[in-house]
């Protein structure tokens, strides 16, 4: 049974919530902090699809819910630039963002993150950026600390053990925040539903809502009910590209992740590479409602590396009035892909796409790029992606071939659909505080971030603000 009163309640135990708790423990160790999460403690999080390749639709889904949030099974790439992984630079200066990234990075190191940082060879990075600029491609420089899928969970587990064993933090698993309580314009508490289905009111003057993308709809409903304003975010739709390492390794060797941006010739849509995994594997992931979308990851351990590199090529779209349902649009496109394959991810060779024909099992068998996602079904992405997206991706691939020769090849594999939904942005001040005093909204669920590092930074910033009050 939880107490009736705490100093701070944190909703969501992803990186945003964890870093709030870590900083509070550091800055004001006497404060009683309650963290709640719909999912389980990290040691109990098991995703059957990771071993069987089949999603059995667990409730709650172990991939996105529980201690460490969506970061638990992630590839653990910590992007050390504020230009990558979210919008924190809309809320603070470059200097402050860099200082907070350094603080968060030191904390990751303290809990066991590997020392190596990729992309620090400025001379080489400048050379690649210079070469890219000749073809209208922008390279976004971003040093990366790579935890690797096998280490990300360990680091986040060490944070759990420290917080629950050595600080005044209580963690309640399988506990869902149902309603945020406000009294006289101030945060007052949360109605929680525990593992036994019973509800309980718990009070605190500070509430930090960090529910991630898994809890974004819930947060939207809450803030609307409280009369707070939100703004739609963009939706990124595209494919995951897979090629032999030999095509990308002159870039990934120095950068780890080559963040490339190209404005497509026909539609001038922004196309960007995202989540590059040298020696990695393509994976299938499921959103609520059973929608299968493609993703990718790689292991820090050299022995587990494959002969392929994969990365996302995403086309960003911001819809204007009257349309205000970008997430629904993205889900619709992903469902279309699932409908044509009977459920799984679709894969097509670039050569087949350009010839206007589907990839079949026998055509795929002739590919020199061996797919790492064995469950992908060969098909035709032109039946799935809108022409605007498909044309923009093809034009960007052709441009990127100048700096990664061999990328625009018949055997380049395209998996669909990769969709990145971003939650509606809750309108907050520069401390991530809503107009309701003491109520903060942070991380991916508040539409502010899209990655581990920036989510962590939002947690630190909120803890600083609470500590100074
Ligand atoms: C497969 C995958 C790979 C990724 N790889 C990378 C990577 O390499 N690098 C990178 O920077 N980012 C990566 N990301 C993204 C990264 O994991 C997220 O950006 C980050 O976890 C966001 O942190 P967060 O704390 O805002 O939310 P989350 O990590 O999503 O945590 C939110 C938590 O809140 C809980 N919650 C939701 N609603 C409620 C409620 N009502 N009550 C109680 N609890 C609730 C959820 O159960 C969840 O545990 C990856 C994501 C995925 C899915």
**Average pLDDT value for residue range 263-281:** 95
Answer yes or no: is the C-beta of 280 below 6 A from any ligand 1 atom: no
Residue 53 has what pLDDT? 63
Q: What pLDDT, in 10s, does the model give residues 414-430?
A: 999 999 878 788 999 99
Question: Do 220 and 348 share a structural domain?
Answer: no
Question: Do 381 and 319 share a structural domain?
Answer: yes
301 pLDDT more than 80: no
Residues of the domain holding 455:
8-118+147-229+425-467
| Distance of CA 62 from the midpoint of ligand 1 (Å) | 11
Is 348 in contact with 359 (CB distance < 8 Å)? yes
Domain-embedded: residue 32: yes
Answer yes or no: is the C-beta of 153 below 6 A from any ligand 1 atom: no
Cα–Cα distance, 208 to 463 (Å, whole number) = 9
Q: What pLDDT, in 10s, does the model give residues 219-249?
A: 989 999 999 998 888 899 999 999 999 999 9
Question: Do 456 and 435 share a structural domain?
Answer: yes
Answer yes or no: is the C-beta of 205 below 6 A from any ligand 1 atom: no
Residue 46 has what pLDDT? 81
Confidence band (pLDDT; 50, 70, 90) for 320?
confident
Question: Do 453 and 368 share a structural domain?
Answer: no
331 pLDDT more than 80: yes
Domain-embedded: residue 252: yes
CA 278 to the chain's CA centroid? 18
285 pLDDT more than 70: yes
161 contacts: CB under 8 Å, gap ≥ 6: none
Closest Cα to atom 11 of ligand 1: 451
| Distance of CA 9 from the midpoint of ligand 1 (Å) | 18
Among 53, 12, 44, residue whose Cα is nearest residue 285 = 53
Question: Do 348 and 247 share a structural domain?
Answer: yes
**Average pLDDT value for residue range 163-175:** 97
Domain-embedded: residue 131: no
Answer yes or no: is the C-beta of 210 below 6 A from any ligand 1 atom: yes
Question: Do 286 and 190 share a structural domain?
Answer: no
**Average pLDDT value for residue range 400-419:** 97
Question: Do 369 and 272 share a structural domain?
Answer: yes
Domain-embedded: residue 202: yes
The CA-atom distances, in angstroms, between 45 and each of 17, 35, 253, 287, 315 are: 18, 17, 33, 17, 33
Residue 299 has what pLDDT? 78
Answer yes or no: is the C-beta of 393 below 6 A from any ligand 1 atom: no
Angle at the Cα of 198 from the Cα atoms of 194 and 203, rounded to 5 degrees: 70
Q: What pLDDT, in 10s, does the model give residues 110-164?
A: 999 999 998 888 899 999 999 999 999 999 989 999 888 778 889 999 999 999 9
321 pLDDT more than 90: no
Closest Cα to atom 10 of ligand 1: 451
- CATH number of domain containing 190: 3.50.50.60
Answer yes or no: is the C-beta of 177 below 6 A from any ligand 1 atom: yes
pLDDT over 90 percentage in the chain:
78
Confidence band (pLDDT; 50, 70, 90) for 195?
very high
Among 200, 185, 242, 127, residue whose Cα is nearest residue 433 = 185
| Distance of CA 37 from the midpoint of ligand 1 (Å) | 11
Question: Do 303 and 163 share a structural domain?
Answer: no
Q: How many domains does the chain have?
A: 2
Cα–Cα distance, 294 to 376 (Å, whole number) = 9
Specify the ligand 1 atom closest to the Cα of 71.
Answer: 17
Domain-embedded: residue 2: no
Question: Do 344 and 258 share a structural domain?
Answer: yes
pLDDT over 70 percentage in the chain:
99
Residue 134 has what pLDDT? 97
**Average pLDDT value for residue range 379-399:** 98
Domain-embedded: residue 1: no
Answer yes or no: is the C-beta of 300 below 6 A from any ligand 1 atom: no
Question: Do 432 and 400 share a structural domain?
Answer: no
| Distance of CA 326 from the midpoint of ligand 1 (Å) | 20
Residue 165 has what pLDDT? 97
Cα–Cα distance, 96 to 79 (Å, whole number) = 16
Q: What pLDDT, in 10s, does the model give residues 429-438?
A: 999 999 999 9
**Average pLDDT value for residue range 264-280:** 95
339 pLDDT more than 70: yes
Residue 98 has what pLDDT? 96
Answer yes or no: is the C-beta of 337 below 6 A from any ligand 1 atom: no
Answer yes or no: is the C-beta of 12 below 6 A from any ligand 1 atom: yes
Answer yes or no: is the C-beta of 41 below 6 A from any ligand 1 atom: no
Closest Cα to atom 26 of ligand 1: 443
70 pLDDT more than 90: no
Q: What pLDDT, in 10s, does the model give residues 16-56?
A: 999 999 999 999 999 999 999 999 998 888 877 767 766 67
Question: Do 402 and 375 share a structural domain?
Answer: yes
Cα–Cα distance, 306 to 251 (Å, whole number) = 17
**Average pLDDT value for residue range 307-321:** 93
Answer yes or no: is the C-beta of 459 below 6 A from any ligand 1 atom: no
Peptide bond into 417 cis (omega under 30): yes
| Distance of CA 16 from the midpoint of ligand 1 (Å) | 8
Question: Do 429 and 411 share a structural domain?
Answer: no
Q: What is the mean pLDDT of the chain?
A: 93
Domain-embedded: residue 3: no
The pick from 452, 457, 461, 462 for probing ligand 1's pocket by mutation, whose C-beta has the most ligand atoms within 8 angstroms, reads: 452
| Distance of CA 73 from the midpoint of ligand 1 (Å) | 10
User: In this predicted structure, which of 51-55, 67-71, 347-351 has the lowest mean pLDDT?
Assistant: 51-55
Domain-embedded: residue 55: yes
Residue 302 has what pLDDT? 81
């Amino acid at each position: 049974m939880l107490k009736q009163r705490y100093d701070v309640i944190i909703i969501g135990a992803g990186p945003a919530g964890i870093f709030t708790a870590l900083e509070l423990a550091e800055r004001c160790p006497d404060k009683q902090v309650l963290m709640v999460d719909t999912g389980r403690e990290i040691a109990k999080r098991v995703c059957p699809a990771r071993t069987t390749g089949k999603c059995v639709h667990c409730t709650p889904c172990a991939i996105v819910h529980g201690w460490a949030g969506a970061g638990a099974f992630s590839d653990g790439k910590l992007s050390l630039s504020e230009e990558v992984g979210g919008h924190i630079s809309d809320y603070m200066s470059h200097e402050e963002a860099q200082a907070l990234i350094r603080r968060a990075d030191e904390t990751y190191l303290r809990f066991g993150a590997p020392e190596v940082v990729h992309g620090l060879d400025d001379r080489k990075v400048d050379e690649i950026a210079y070469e890219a600029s000749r073809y209208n491609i922008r390279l976004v420089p971003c040093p990366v600390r790579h935890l690797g899928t096998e280490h990300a969970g360990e680091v986040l587990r060490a944070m759990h053990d420290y917080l629950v064993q050595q600080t005044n933090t209580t963690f309640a698993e399988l506990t869902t925040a149902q309603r945020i309580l406000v009294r006289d314009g101030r945060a007052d508490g949360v109605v929680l539903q525990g593992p036994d289905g019973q509800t309980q009111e718990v009070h605190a003057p500070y509430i930090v809502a960090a529910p991630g993308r898994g809890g974004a709809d819930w947060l939207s409903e809450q803030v609307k009910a409280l009369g707070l304003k939100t703004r739609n975010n963009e939706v990124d739709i595209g494919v995951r590209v897979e090629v032999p390492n030999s095509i990308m390794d002159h870039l990934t060797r120095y950068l780890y992740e080559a963040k490339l941006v190209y404005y497509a010739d026909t539609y001038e849509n922004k196309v960007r590479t995202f989540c590059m995994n040298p020696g990695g594997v393509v994976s299938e992931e499921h959103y609520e409602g059973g929608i299968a979308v493609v993703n990718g990851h790689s292991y820090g351990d050299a022995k587990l590396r494959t002969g392929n590199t994969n990365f996302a090529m995403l086309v960003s779209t911001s819809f204007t009035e009257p349309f205000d349902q970008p997430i629904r649009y993205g889900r619709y496109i992903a469902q279309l892909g699932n409908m044509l394959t009977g459920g799984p991810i679709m894969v097509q060779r670039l050569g087949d796409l350009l010839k206007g024909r589907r990839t079949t099992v026998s055509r795929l068998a002739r590919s020199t790029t061996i797919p790492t996602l064995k469950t992908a079904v060969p098909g035709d992405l032109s039946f799935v992606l809108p022409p605007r997206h498909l044309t923009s991706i093809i034009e960007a691939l052709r441009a990127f071939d100048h700096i990664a020769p061999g990328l625009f090849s018949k055997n380049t594999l395209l998996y669909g659909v990769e969709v990145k939904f971003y939650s509606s942005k809750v309108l907050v001040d520069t401390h991530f505080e809503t107009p309701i005093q003491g109520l903060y909204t942070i991380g991916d669920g508040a539409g502010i971030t899209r990655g581990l590092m920036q989510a962590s930074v939002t947690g630190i910033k909120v803890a600083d603000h609470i500590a100074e009050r």
